[in-house]
Amino acid sequence: MMLIQTPGTYALLNARSGTALDLSGADRRSVLGYPSHMGENQQWEFLPNGKGYAIRSARMSLLGGLFLTVEGVYDGARIIGSPYPTSWDVHIDEEYRSLCIFWPNTSYFVGLDNENEGSQAKARLMEEIPGKPRQRWFHVFCRTVQGQQIMDLDARPYMNLDKFILRNVKSGTVLDLSGADRRSILGWTVHRGHNQQWEFLPYGRGYAIRAVWRPTADPLYLSVENTNQEPQVVASPFPTSWELHVDQRTETVHIQWSGTSYAIELGDQGSATPGTRAQLMIGKAEEFSQSWQFMHYRV
């Protein structure tokens, strides 16, 4: 990844259509290609976060900051504005003085539908196809970032944060960062090791969920990637914000992909077999395989 040389506020102009990436003034949620007028809803703040950037609209809303995120991780998924940020993998093409914005660890990038057909094309995730040019964006510097900055999660000290073990209500196994590939998220027999401990960090209106275990220089967070159309939960150095629905009576939590109906579920309907993958499924409040008991870890 090549870094933006001057982190700050940019207008993003599609290299083919010339339209600007625009947060709709109608619903403050849809992201479109629209004729450039350089207003606040066409200006985006690039905020270093994890190994990537959170991309925040310069136009504030009643919900606070609105960030670029997705409704799912698949070809054609809509790009939306949300108070739940995520970290994008931004690549600079120095030859063309432009950038591409990728969902981390995938071949999906931010592009426009019908990019040559005028205004109001929807922004979507598009899969990179060998031999076909990516959609690039010219980034026009507007100003340095003003106002409240998003916190760099990686800068927070580990020692001052509460740590939790997440036990699946149906299986009795706990959420485990695989020691084999340092990426897969599994259900495993509880042993209370660092790879079974998690920290919840405020991130926009939700929480980034960070592994206590740090096998590399970069902290790892719960995130999502698409594998053969089945969204898998993975560990990634690019944080994302999760929506938590906590039941204080039972001390359990449903962990939901923000702005969608999807929640983290232990695979095979909550199988107790060690090594069962965690995945995203349609959320159901009564589904115990999507319910996680949060146990405060104490040494």
Domain boundaries, the chain: 9-142, 163-296
Note the pTM of the prediction, 2 decimals.
0.90
CB 183 within 8 A of CB 286: no
Closest CA to 221 of 210, 206, 212: 210
Using one digit for the tens of pLDDT, what is the confidence trace for 68-122? 999 888 889 999 999 999 999 999 888 878 999 999 989 999 999 875 555 689 9
- In CATH terms, the fold of domain 163-296 is Trefoil (Acidic Fibroblast Growth Factor, subunit A) (2.80.10)
pLDDT of residue 156: 65
pLDDT of residue 109: 94
CA distances in angstroms from 199 to 159, 162, 221, 229, listed in the order given: 11, 6, 9, 29
Q: Measure the CA–CA gap between 114 and 276, rounded to whole angstroms.
A: 40
Q: Find the helix or strand (DSSP H, E) in which 92 lies.
A: strand 89-93
Query: What one-character-per-residue DSSP string does 218-283 give?
Result: S--EEEEEEETTEEEEEEESS-B-EEEEEETTTTEEEEEETTSSEEEEEHHHH--STTEEEEEEE-
What's the half-sphere exposure (Cβ side, CA atoms, 13 Å) at 161?
19
pLDDT of residue 116: 53
pLDDT of residue 152: 62
The percentage of residues in the chain with a pLDDT greater than 70, rounded to a whole number, is: 88
Looking at residue 134, its amino acid is R
Q: Say yes or no: domain 9-142 is CATH 2.80.10.50.
A: yes
Q: Measure the CA–CA gap between 83 and 204, rounded to whole angstroms.
A: 6
Which residues of the chain are modeled with pLDDT < 70? 1-6, 62-63, 115-119, 146-160, 227-229, 298-299
Tell me, yes or no, if the two domains 9-142 and 163-296 fold the same way: yes
